[in-house]
Amino acid sequence: MKTAIVICGQIGSGKSTVSNCVASRMSIQVVSFGKYIRQMAHLSGQPDSRKSLQDLGDGLYRQIGAAGLLEGVLAVAAVKDEDSVVFDGVRHEEVLEEIRLRARQTIATYLAVGQEERFRRHRSRSSGGMTFQEFQAIDSHAVETGIVPLANHCDVLVDASQPLTCVLKDLLAEILFGQ
């Protein structure tokens, strides 16, 4: 890979929205770990509930490791060596390190948002009226709790509780101009 822009953050932090906006602005492909895990669930006949996907992703990570997980995601997305991409949803430090090994340039970004705001966002896009306690249960899954320390390994920390235009302005300034 030429350039890898990595977007990390907890559930409801805006990873997919920011990833898609950055990719659109830069005319590059989004490579989504969540999409890959959902495809694996579909192929193996597993349900696509949040808990099931979390368990499947954790199981794949433990079974094939960071390199294997990244390799699967890149293969499904048909990423070539000369491509620049935006990675949506990196959840492990080791996967971020694998990306850094494979890309000529990596810009890792962590979207920081408080739990109540993430709950509000998640609930607004989910059907079924999830309670705060239900959100806390999915937010406390081992895969999710492992994301928080990832902030210490990212190049850019963005306050993603701001309006999207501010988040994108800050992030694109960092990506394009290193500011």
How high is the pLDDT of residue 35? 92
Q: Are 25 and 169 in contact (CB under 8 A)?
A: no
How high is the pLDDT of residue 128? 67
Angstrom distance (rounded) from CA 50 to CA 141: 10
Q: What is the pTM of this model?
A: 0.90
Name the token pair of 81. Answer: 């060596």
* Cα-to-chain-centroid distance, residue 164: 16
Q: Are 10 and 110 in contact (CB under 8 A)?
A: no
Angstrom distance (rounded) from CA 158 to CA 88: 15
Angstrom distance (rounded) from CA 113 to CA 119: 10
Point out which residues pair with 31 in neighbouring strands: 87
Q: Which fold has domain 3-177?
A: Rossmann fold (3.40.50)
Angstrom distance (rounded) from CA 69 to CA 62: 9
How high is the pLDDT of residue 49? 84
How high is the pLDDT of residue 85? 97
Domain spans of the chain, in order of start: 3-177
Per-residue pLDDT of the chain (179 residues), as tens digits, is 899 999 999 999 999 999 999 999 889 999 999 999 999 999 999 988 888 898 999 999 999 999 999 999 999 999 998 999 999 999 999 999 999 999 999 999 999 999 999 999 888 887 767 889 989 998 998 888 889 899 999 998 999 988 888 888 878 777 766 65
Q: Which of 132, 73, 108, 91 has the alpha carbon at shortest distance from 3?
A: 108
Helix axis angle, 50-77 to 93-102, nearest 10°: 10
